[in-house]
Structure 1
Amino acid sequence: MILLRSILFQAAFYAVTIFYGIVLLPFLLMPRRWLWQGVLTWIRSCLLVVRYVGGIRTEITGKENIPDGPLLVAAKHQSAWETLALLLLFKDPTFILKRELTWIPIFGWYLARAGMIPVDRGAKAVALKTMTERAVAELAKGRQILIFPEGTRRPPGAPPQYKFGVAHLYASLRVPCLPVGLNSGVFWPRRKPLRAGTIRAEILPAIPAGLPRGVFAARIEREIEASSDRLIAQGWAELGEGPEENGKVTDLSPLSPPVEKS
């Protein structure tokens, strides 16, 4: 049943994505705000697929902690879910993402036109400088900068691997940073079948601007990890198992992307 649900989900998700990828092509020539409305419609459609085909409900708490205006958002990254769901929470968000995603035909066009911030992870110091300059420019427009501090997806329970970039951005941008913990990897793991259940995300109180870089780095990791560990434990309890059992699930080809409580 789990394998069949995952196969049906992949088929439905890709069908929705291809449909909107074609329908929204004319929006690439329109103002970004118009394109963004179309993208949001695609995201909401994907989340409906997640809910009704994938059997995954969602709960997002702490929305009252989101301040208005320019903001740095640092979220745990465990699955494709947060790459979509988080975009619905903010007025004008932009993701910091790996440059290779912009090379994908059609999909990459939308990323570029939506004003996402690509990073050449192999360029190191140059990439950090370019990322910061782009983030400053987007922040000046009143946008919210979203970043995954570990740079890539990490399985639930894996030791954290926070990179230097988030602390550098925090010090450079001089705006509050909003930590986000979640447990999406329990139910939507990478290259494994979906598990029906409830993905939970927690928006924590914003960390004020101006802390020393080292103090901030320690605090952001501590708060995100504590929240995520608690939510992951809730997820395993909901499934009635632990990471050992889940790790034995049959592997699949990569699953794709996510959702408010639904």
Structure 2
Amino acid sequence: MTTVIPAIRTAVFYLVFIGQTAIIAIIIGIVALIAGRTRFTWGLAKYWCWSNVQFLRWIAGVRTEISGAENIPPGGCIIASKHQSDWDVFAIFPHTGRPAYIVKKELMNIPFFGWAARSLDCIEIDRKKGAEAIPEMMIEAHAALGRGCRIVIFPEGTRKAALAPADYRQGIVRMYTELNVPVVPVALNSGLFWGRNSLIIWPGTARGEFLPAIEPGLPPEVFAERLRTAIETRTDALSLAAVDSGLSRPIDPSLAERVAAARQRAP
């Protein structure tokens, strides 16, 4: 596929995506300053997630398939997701009940957006503080669970290129140990279509999968290995399946190396 049509579709999508995000953030932010969290602002947040999935499908040509929601236990839990694109944020949202996303401080400091995020249970993390930021995050996480939220965290802390080497942070381990609730791993392959820093969103089917929950109470090192193995193994499988079925995007040398490495890791 030539890049011209996908580039045009991507530009149109970003105009719609960024435009409506700004408008919705301003509305929710203003309402939040006056009345806090309301049914109206929560409805707008749900609309934002739903509409982005639709815009991706009809403008950029990216379909969304999510499976395994039956693996999310009732009550409080942590949802720990692979993170490869903005798709990950709104694609898993409809399955999380009342989510409390872990959000970096830089985003929370944006006027209107930050006000909106706080009213929608988002939890701030200052990554510049490193380990010192975790106690503050834990206080907010306990409070969110008390409000009936499910904590949503991206354990690597930032978006990663598709099939890039894993780099899990310690925050998820501390959270698992202290909150003493199940952790639901999430695998996905969205980076093949909407990659980190990619100028083009490529048509295809982005897939995400909620995996069986990891029970609370395991030793930290055992939990960390189970989480990493679950997410990375299934993410590799979803990504290789997409590659084998044929991608519309070109496979550059860097991606080709990562694909080859994933095939070697495959059980």
TM-score by length of 2: 0.87
* Structure 2 counterpart of 1:161: 167
**3-state SS of the aligned residue for 1:57?**
strand
2:127 pairs with 1:124: no
Residues 146-200 of structure 1: CA distance to partner in whole angstroms, max 9, x if unpaired?
1111110110111000111111100000000000000000001122100000000
2:240 pairs with 1:233: yes
The partner residue of 2:146 within 110, 124, 140 is 140
Aligned mates of 1:23, 1:124 — CA distance in 2: 33
Deviation at 1:48, TM superposition (A): 1.4
Structure 1 135/23 Cα, relative in aligned 2: closer, same or farther at 3 Å? closer
Aligned mates of 2:182, 2:176 — CA distance in 1: 8
Residues 119-146 of structure 1: CA distance to partner in whole angstroms, max 9, x if unpaired?
1112123201111111111112221001
2:228 pairs with 1:221: yes
**3-state SS of the aligned residue for 1:123?**
helix
Residues 17-44 of structure 1: CA distance to partner in whole angstroms, max 9, x if unpaired?
2332344455323352422222111221
Does the 8 Å contact 2:66/2:92 carry over to 1? Answer: no
The partner residue of 1:32 within 19, 33, 37 is 37
The partner residue of 2:209 within 202, 205, 212 is 202
The partner residue of 1:47 within 47, 53, 57 is 53
Aligned mates of 1:52, 1:115 — CA distance in 2: 30
Does the 8 Å contact 2:204/2:248 carry over to 1? Answer: no
Q: Kindly indicate which of the two structures has a greater share of residues assigned to helix.
A: 2
2:159 pairs with 1:172: no
2:116 pairs with 1:110: yes
**3-state SS of the aligned residue for 1:202?**
strand
Structure 1 7/19 Cα, relative in aligned 2: closer, same or farther at 3 Å? same
Deviation at 1:63, TM superposition (A): 1.1
Aligned mates of 1:36, 1:27 — CA distance in 2: 11
**3-state SS of the aligned residue for 1:40?**
helix
Structure 1 240/43 Cα, relative in aligned 2: closer, same or farther at 3 Å? closer
* Structure 1 counterpart of 2:104: 98
**3-state SS of the aligned residue for 2:133?**
helix
Aligned mates of 2:145, 2:130 — CA distance in 1: 22
Unpaired runs of at least 5, structure 1: 249-262
AA at the equivalent of 1:244 = D
Aligned mates of 1:24, 1:171 — CA distance in 2: 34
Aligned mates of 1:24, 1:130 — CA distance in 2: 25
2:116 pairs with 1:85: no
How many residues align? The count is 248
TM-score by length of 1: 0.89
| Higher RCO (C-alpha 8 Å, min separation 6) | 1
Does the 8 Å contact 2:81/2:186 carry over to 1? Answer: yes
Does the 8 Å contact 1:16/1:46 carry over to 2? Answer: no
Deviation at 1:116, TM superposition (A): 0.7
Aligned mates of 1:161, 1:194 — CA distance in 2: 24
**3-state SS of the aligned residue for 1:74?**
strand
* Structure 1 counterpart of 2:264: none
Aligned mates of 1:224, 1:239 — CA distance in 2: 22
Unpaired runs of at least 5, structure 2: 257-267
Aligned mates of 1:63, 1:144 — CA distance in 2: 13
